[in-house]
Structure 1
């Protein structure tokens, strides 16, 4: 079993978001510890009955009114849009919250980054006063806003690739659905290429542990490199779906020559190079030493398939993220080659 286990004191917890993918995993993890959980969001999705809802919208004037009163031991935040929304929230809560745990990203590190670097790697620029900016710059701006408002009472949980049940980006769901359909399937090589990812539930359980343990600073939150491989991941998809699909392993050169976009059209996969090093060769020793536990890849794949089947195979899709997956005509052309 994964995650941080053990007895826990009841903490007054404010979760910003709390209803989709990582946010819902945070809500579930905090409730599992018996914590007193308040969730602030726009009220678009149903919450567990144990969670206390507060309705608001961080993108509009006066949208934080529901947070004008109240004190909490910790706030957990997944925001990934305009940094000024995090700035305004952090400034409002700084005197009434003990610690701010922010789900950030390894994308805040500058590229190229030498493989194997940890939290000491150089960072990109960002501003807490920014409006709509690209994802990595937005996350860095939010980090700065939290640091300014909370001093050393913060944790930046810099996640890598996040998979697991309730995924609304579509990466693992696309592979599961494609492999479940059967037939020959383009499998991007090399099959022994090591991967790093984190199950959203492991990310959430470590984040609530970080709050309880009063940790501070940045942590890279992802599995050790080689937790699984591209081959193992796709073979797990074949196994858990019970598919008769045939994985056809194709060299990166042939894939790129066919104008296939890594990461987007073949989710999770990137060829060797700077992008691969940034995504799949991060040092995570600091987080492991601070209690991070990573569940087996088979559990993540199997649980995601169970969740996906319960939805009829149609996963939710975040509107601010591109739809992923290899178009059938491109796959057919690659298989012909």
Structure 2
């Protein structure tokens, strides 16, 4: 039986990883503060704060694991401390990173060979800078976290996954939930760009299953984790939302440049819309070669809607308050941009 320690494990990707591991019969321990989300029934729960050294030392003494999956690491210095403390207690460290570690994201197409943002493995939470439509502190520091893991565990015992946009049941950022709720109300819907725009969000369950496969197969290295380029379109996504919710909306497609001149915020006011050419051009061929499979986006849409209908409203993520157009603003934009 594989023994897995998850740092986090109570919301979205971490929760899904714990659930899928239990389904496969793994022995799963989660370590978190217990302040957000919910524990998955069946996991062994250890409470603690990864930023408190005594808590991490206590965790390291509480068991041996085949692998650690770090779902909550954001500051390089902290990840370095955690990895060093847990090194004697585990054989592999899997770190959940992001495509934001690439210097050219979202401007240019990406592969794993693309240049990374430079950040030392012992950097603190002040490192880096936020550049409009360019690198972010989040990206710099995630890159430093990757370096911290690889410094501690070496190339043979570390695995780094770099998802793009992750959607699916329990999504706490609110991108797909916003579109589903908006489309369910019907009427004229402000839709960004063109329906033919290629998008490549990946289902949270597919990311989790690939992570488990990496642990099972002792797969080392860094992998982009996205749906295939060209597998889905923005128009297809909205059509899936309409068929799933049983609504009959009228999508009003407005060109990118018109929306930008009107001051519509990309990525937030109209979730998943971003006009830069590299956003949905992330090559994940290495992951496919190692067994990543991606379900149709229509299945993600359907299952997310079923979860929304069956579940109480989730607690807001710190980013969720920025997601979506205010209804009045949407109608004002429709009148001013399409008449």
Q: Are the counterparts in 2 of residues 170 and 315 from structure 1 also a CA contact under 8 Å?
A: no
**Per the alignment, in what secondary structure is the counterpart of residue 94 of structure 1?**
helix
Residue 4 of structure 1 corresponds to none
1:306 deviation in Å?
0.7
Equivalent-residue separation in structure 2 for 1:327 and 1:137 (angstroms): 32
Residue 139 of structure 1 corresponds to 142
Runs of 4+ in 1 over 3 A off after TM superposition: 112-117
Q: Report the CA distance shift for 1:320/1:302 in structure 2 as closer, same or farther (over 3 A).
A: closer
Q: Report the CA distance shift for 1:46/1:327 in structure 2 as closer, same or farther (over 3 A).
A: closer
Residue 310 of structure 1 corresponds to 310
Is 1:36 matched with 2:23?
Answer: no
Equivalent-residue separation in structure 2 for 1:315 and 1:325 (angstroms): 16
Equivalent-residue separation in structure 2 for 1:157 and 1:253 (angstroms): 33
Q: Which runs of 5+ in 2 are unaligned?
A: 127-136
2:260 paired residue among 256, 261, 266: 256
Q: Which runs of 5+ in 1 are unaligned?
A: 1-9
Give matches, 1:114-129, under 5 Å. 115-129=108-122
Q: Are the counterparts in 2 of residues 79 and 86 from structure 1 also a CA contact under 8 Å?
A: no
Stretch moving more, 92-101 or 13-22: 92-101
Structure-2-length-normalised TM-score = 0.91
Equivalent-residue separation in structure 2 for 1:112 and 1:301 (angstroms): 26
Residue 241 of structure 1 corresponds to 245
Residue 295 of structure 1 corresponds to 295
1:63 deviation in Å?
2.9
Q: CA RMSD in A?
A: 1.7
Residue 161 of structure 1 corresponds to 165
Give matches, 1:34-113, under 5 Å. 34-44=25-35, 45-69=37-61, 70-111=63-104
Is 1:224 matched with 2:228?
Answer: yes
Aligned residues, how many?
A: 323
Q: Are the counterparts in 1 of residues 101 and 116 from structure 2 also a CA contact under 8 Å?
A: yes
Equivalent-residue separation in structure 1 for 2:319 and 2:52 (angstroms): 18
